[in-house]
A = this chain, B = another copy of it.
Amino acid sequence: MTIMLYELAGRDAARPFSPHCWKTVMSLAHKGLEFERSAVPFTGVPEVENRFGKTVPVLRDGDKVISDSFDIALYLEETYPDRPTLFGGEGGVALSRFMEAWSASQIHTTIGGRLLLDIHAMLEPQDQAYFRESREARFGRPLEDVVEAGAERIREFGAKLEPLRLMLKRQPFIGGEGPLFADYIVFGAFQWARVCSAEELLEPDDPVSLWFDRCLDLHAGIGRSVAAAA
Contact = CB atoms under 8 A, between A and B. Distances in A.
A19 B222 CA distance: 42
Interface string A90-105: 1111111111111011
Contacts of A162: 101, 105-106
Contact of A163 (B88, B98, B174): B98
B89 A90 contact: yes
A162 B101 CA distance: 8
Nearest to A169: B101
Contacts of A167: 97-98, 100-101
Given A89-B91, A93-B176, A95-B95, 13 more contacts: A88-B92, A90-B176, A91-B93, A94-B171, A94-B174, A95-B99, A95-B180, A97-B167, A101-B166, A102-B163, A104-B163, A105-B163, A105-B166
Interface of A: 85, 87-102, 104-106, 162-164, 166-167, 170-171, 173-176, 180, 182
